Chains A and B, each alone.
Chain A
Amino acid sequence: MNTLAYLIYFIITGFITIWVGRRFFRNGRLFILGLLRQDESLTDAINRILLIGYYLLNLGYAALMISTWETITTYTELLESITEMTARIILTLSLIHYCNMAGIYVISKRKNTFTHS
């Protein structure tokens, strides 16, 4: 039963990680571009490195969490534990996401005051 749970878990987390990563990759580019004063080649390089870092962090975390998994005997427990573990990953992801947005906001604000005064 546990093997089945790990398989389903990895499919779900992999799907979410890649989908969210692609979204961030596409929409975050503009912000880095703004911060780096329209330097396109540097922006693309940094963006790609950030994407790789994000994948590594998230998939690594997802794989680490498997060691805390309890033994499963029924289908109800299977559903319960998969949902709970996925929820943890998603919540961590959203926390990191909001921290990043706050970071972008703070940096761009500081930059603005720096250039205007």
Chain B
Amino acid sequence: MQTTFNFLAYLIYLPVVIVLTWYVAHILFRNSKVFMLDIFGGKTDIAGATNRLFETGFYLLNLGCAFYIMEISTDITETRTMLELLSTKIGGFCIYLGIMLFLNLYLFFRGRRIAKQKSRLAEAAAQLRPQA
């Protein structure tokens, strides 16, 4: 029986993907606390809780996707094919992760904008009230 490189490819793929997801989530959600504090008007506890929930969701979705696309259906017989397949898979996953990152950033910016608009409206209403 000829040896295949599938198992080795999985053994390389899994740690790379897990470390990548962890790293991106770590960077994103360490810096998103500022946004959350802006969105929730400086309420630390609810901002932290929302941040935690978003982080968990991010991990679940991306690790789930990474595991789901892992399977290589053909038998790999050469190291060259293995490297090519691995780089295709990991590269595709990187691009997907980048899109997810920007989606999250968009959500944070949007939430911040809406929160700012609301506070401005509240200020305007407070200024109007004594005159009326």
**Which A residues are within 8 Å of any B CB, using their own CB?**
20, 23-24, 26-31, 34, 75-76, 79-80, 83-84, 86-91, 93-94, 97-98, 101
Contact = CB atoms under 8 A, between A and B. Distances in A.
A79 B7 contact: yes
Size band of the B side of the interface?
20 to 34
Interface of B: 4, 6-7, 10, 14, 45-46, 48-50, 52-53, 56-57, 60-61, 63-68, 70-71
Nearest to A98: B57
A101 B10 contact: no
**Is chain B's binding surface mostly helix, strand, loop or mixed?**
helix
Q: Is chain A's binding surface mostly helix, strand, loop or mixed? A: helix
Contact of A30 (B6, B49, B61): B49
A24 B64 CA distance: 18
8 contacts: A23-B52, A24-B53, A30-B45, A84-B67, A84-B70, A89-B64, A90-B63, A97-B60
